[in-house]
């Protein structure tokens, strides 16, 4: 089993305690990126990714040469005016960066398409409120069946590579929200299975060393609990075709129209169609 990647906030003291580990370090200000990278080097931390959660539009951030080489997940509130984006585009394309845009932002879906069509990797930030599933469906169609090549759009790219119709596929990893892979560490060094658990103070281990031995069991238990929660109750998710991909993540957004069910069924159908189209291509013989 591969070692889990710990998700932790940026605190130098915590980094010192996690020396030698592979981390996702969360910050909320892009100006901290060079300093975090420097401190990570100092404490022999392998940076899996810097998870930058800014509440600002992309256009209000100054994309810097100092970001080169750093794996970045940059959450922005919206794209902003394209004329401002275009000034930073050449550098953005050269960086190891994925930009997360909320679907609920003004022109959120358009922003994702704009960046992707110009070669910048993006991800949909579904947010906590009820997403606009029609918009998400259009974006899915663009991501999978766009007429021209474009940069990957997550979580669709992840699902194309990982989806298995006979199993559940958890795309939470795209958001560092998969218990077995990305446990979360708080500033005291206590470990939770995910962001939500950490916010609620639900820790499964009191220290990193303890977490190493308890993680797989705790993650498995959470998986079972999730199933029980939906399948022992006479809940709509228990009957939903989309369960295999959604895993109840959007249960709180359900309403009469069940937009999430339609969307996730469409996701699975589209991936299968995408794969069958890809397989239909004839490989030219080679000498």
Partner 1 sequence: MANVLFTQRCVRSCPYCFAEKHMSESSPKDVLTWENLIYLADFLEASGERRFSILGGEPTLHPDFTDMVAYLLERKFEVKVFTSGIMADRVLEESAMVFSAAHPEQLSFICNLNDPQKTPTSLAEVESAKRFLGVFGDRVVPGFNIYRTDFELDFLFRSINEYGLKRTIRIGLTHPIPGKKNRFISLADMDTIIARLFTYAPLFERLRIKPGLDCGFPLCRFSDEQLAWLYRHTGGKYDFGCGPVIDIGPDLSVWSCFPLSSFQKKSVFDFNSLQEIHEFYQRFHAIVRTEAGGIFEECDACVMREDQHCRGGCVAHSLSRFQDEAPVRFREVYV
Residues forming the site for partner 1 (CB under 8 A): 81-83, 86, 89, 107, 109-110, 113-114, 117-118, 138, 142, 146-148
3-state secondary structure (DSSP) of residue 266: helix
Q: How far is the CB of 110 from partner 1 (least distance, A)?
A: 4
Q: How far is the CB of 182 from partner 1 (least distance, A)?
A: 33
* Choice between 41 and 81, CB closer to partner 1: 81
* Choice between 86 and 233, CB closer to partner 1: 86
* Choice between 112 and 267, CB closer to partner 1: 112
Long-range contacts of 243-247 (CB under 8 A, 24+ apart): 243/168, 244/165, 244/167, 244/168, 244/169, 244/268, 245/159, 245/163, 245/168, 245/169, 245/171, 247/168, 247/170, 247/172
Q: How far is the CB of 107 from partner 1 (least distance, A)?
A: 6
**Alpha carbons 168 and 179: distance in angstroms, whole number:** 15
**Alpha carbons 170 and 246: distance in angstroms, whole number:** 7
Q: How far is the CB of 150 from partner 1 (least distance, A)?
A: 8
* Choice between 3 and 141, CB closer to partner 1: 141
Q: How far is the CB of 116 from partner 1 (least distance, A)?
A: 9
Q: List C-alpha distances in Å: 169 to 4, 68, 248, 250, 263.
A: 18, 32, 12, 15, 15
* Choice between 127 and 146, CB closer to partner 1: 146
Sheet holding 203-205, edge to edge: 153-154, 122-125, 97-102, 72-75, 46-53, 22-27, 6-9, 184-185, 191-192, 203-205
* Choice between 118 and 214, CB closer to partner 1: 118
Q: How far is the CB of 138 from partner 1 (least distance, A)?
A: 7
């Amino acid at each position: 089993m591969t070692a889990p990647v710990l998700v932790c906030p940026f605190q130098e003291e915590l980094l010192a305690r996690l020396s030698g580990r592979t981390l996702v370090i969360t910050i909320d200000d892009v100006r901290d990126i060079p300093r975090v990278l420097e401190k990570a080097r100092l404490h022999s931390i392998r940076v899996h990714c810097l998870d930058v959660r800014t509440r600002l539009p992309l256009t209000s951030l100054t994309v810097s040469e100092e970001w080169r080489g750093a794996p970045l997940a940059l959450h922005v509130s919206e794209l902003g005016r394209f004329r401002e984006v275009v000034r930073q585009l050449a550098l953005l394309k050269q960086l190891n960066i994925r930009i997360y845009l909320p679907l609920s932002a003004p022109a959120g879906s358009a922003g994702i398409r704009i960046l992707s069509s110009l070669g910048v990797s993006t991800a949909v930030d579904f947010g906590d409120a009820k997403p606009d599933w029609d918009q998400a469906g259009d974006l899915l169609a663009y991501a999978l069946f766009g007429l021209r090549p474009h940069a990957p759009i997550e979580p669709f790219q992840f699902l194309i590579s990982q989806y298995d119709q006979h199993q559940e596929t958890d795309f939470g990893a795209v958001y560092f929200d998969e218990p077995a892979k990305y446990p979360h560490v708080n500033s005291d060094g206590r470990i939770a299975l995910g962001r939500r658990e950490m916010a609620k103070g639900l820790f499964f281990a009191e220290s990193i060393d303890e977490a190493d031995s308890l993680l797989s069991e705790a993650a498995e238990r959470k998986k079972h609990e999730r199933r029980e929660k939906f399948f022992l109750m006479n809940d709509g998710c228990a009957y939903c075709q989309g369960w295999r991909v959604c895993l109840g993540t959007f249960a709180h957004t359900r309403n009469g129209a069940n937009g999430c069910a339609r969307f996730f069924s469409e996701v699975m159908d589209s991936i299968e169609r995408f794969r069958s189209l890809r397989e239909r291509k004839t490989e030219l013989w080679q000498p």
